[in-house]
Amino acid sequence: MRPAQHSLPGISGISGPASRPVLAVDQGTSSTKALVICPERGVIGAGSAPAAPRYGPGGTVEVDPALLLSSVVEAGRRALADAGEPVAAVGLANQGETVLAWDPVTGAPLTDAIVWQDRRAESLCAELAPHGARLTELTGLPVDPYFAAPKMAWIRRRLTREGVVTTSDAWLVHRLTGAFVTDAATAGRTQLLDLDRVEWSREARALYGLADEAMPGIVDAAGPVGTTTAFGPEIPLTGLLVDQQAALLAQDVTEPGTAKCTYGTGAFLLAQTGNRPRRGTSGLVSCVAWRLGGRTSYCLDGQVYTAASAVRWLTDLGVISGAADLDPVGLSVPDSGGVTFVPALAGLAAPWWRGDLRGSVTGLGLDTGAGHLVRALCEGIAAQVVELADAVAADLGAPLTV
């Protein structure tokens, strides 16, 4: 399959000569995946490496930063070895809201990486509730532990005042190239970015107690950042973008009113809204889609916190042996048998924003089997995605068609 051809500013020329492939690295929640992609031949190499987080009591979700970095390097090297030819550049997608503190001189991590699903900043968010409307107006985001700023402030209160505290991409880029930057869309996942100006908000930073923090420079999604030898011979890093917005661009969702839904650790529905932010009333997030050539595009964003992670939970309970069992086990029964599964295992995100809620299973009986639980889980995830699609339609004034 040939990759989508874009005419957006800043995209042309990113990979050098038309025939030169590029290395695309996606640092995700449970693993890092890498592809070598040629504009003419499509995918010519692939690699991956695990980077699974640890789940603990009190909403703890953490991962060793060294594992994040090593997974990026290993996945990239495996993809390059699989391709067997050099690349013109490398691009990096990231988790978005995952944060850590680190030493800006040595690059050494000072804390574990606090993953986007972590809920330990809930009490901090409760303190900021009186400022919630103002923060949402400034940044497009509700006050919720999902976003980066609450976790950054939590680190400063509970773990360390040393070094810098940033999203994981800024640390990875620093370790790869020495640069101290983040892209505009990832910055938009912090609740510290002024959505209209696309610059750090002094007011938001002050409300979170982060006014004196050194913040990374904000760069376009496409453009020279630095060079790295982490994958072998020196290559330029020329692409940075948060994962869900990267999927939006990769799937060519560039026209206002079009949308995509990506299913991974969670499920994320994003709808393109054009060159101005649209602050909806249906509980969706308004955020930066990307900035290219100095021009910003925006999107509406809705989230289901647990999709594949809910499947992993069922697997850990022994109901199924893995995701491959979903179809055969689910199809072993005609329906869910009256079982209803609300997969709020890390709370409910858009459009409800009820992080205090937890998952529930109702309608169980002596005749309930694994197939009923699997179907109920899948139906619960699907129902949440339908709610997101309806919310997008309400905010856009028309149902989604593409």
> Which residues constitute the domain of residue 71?
22-252
pLDDT for 297-322, tens place per residue? 999 999 998 999 999 999 999 999 99
> What pLDDT is recorded for position 305?
87
> What pLDDT is recorded for position 19?
73
Whether 34 and 77 map to the same domain: the answer is yes
pLDDT band at 2 (very low <50, low <70, confident <90, very high): very low
Task: Give the end of a domain, one of 215, 234, 252.
Answer: 252
In a domain, 3, yes or no: no
Q: CB neighbours of 134 closer than 8 A, spacing ≥ 6?
A: 203, 207
What's the domain count of the chain? 2
Whether 150 and 272 map to the same domain: the answer is no
> What pLDDT is recorded for position 279?
87
pLDDT for 93-117, tens place per residue? 999 999 999 999 999 999 999 999 9
Task: Give the end of a domain, one of 224, 252, 280.
Answer: 252
> What pLDDT is recorded for position 11?
40
Please state the separation of Cα 86 from the chain's center in Å: 28
In a domain, 178, yes or no: yes
In a domain, 4, yes or no: no
**Is residue 14 pLDDT above 90, yes or no?**
no
Whether 322 and 206 map to the same domain: the answer is no
pLDDT band at 5 (very low <50, low <70, confident <90, very high): very low
CA nearest neighbour of 331 among 291, 369, 301, 287: 369
Whether 261 and 391 map to the same domain: the answer is yes
Whether 210 and 243 map to the same domain: the answer is yes
Stretch 365-386: mean pLDDT: 96
> What pLDDT is recorded for position 187?
98
Stretch 341-348: mean pLDDT: 91
Residue 237: CATH number of its domain:
3.30.420.40
Stretch 182-208: mean pLDDT: 98
Q: CB neighbours of 307 closer than 8 A, spacing ≥ 6?
A: 263, 264, 265, 266, 267, 343, 381
Q: Rounded mean pLDDT of the chain?
A: 93
**pTM given for the model:** 0.89
In a domain, 402, yes or no: no
Distance CA 151, CA 118 (A): 8
**Is residue 211 pLDDT above 50, yes or no?**
yes
DSSP 21-44: -EEEEEE-SSEEEEEEEETTTEEE
Which helix (H) or strand (E) covers residue 342, if one does? strand 340-342
Stretch 352-371: mean pLDDT: 93
Whether 216 and 87 map to the same domain: the answer is yes
Stretch 76-85: mean pLDDT: 98
Stretch 266-273: mean pLDDT: 92
> What pLDDT is recorded for position 16?
46
In a domain, 1, yes or no: no
Q: Are 400 and 271 in contact (CB under 8 A)?
A: yes
pLDDT band at 18 (very low <50, low <70, confident <90, very high): low
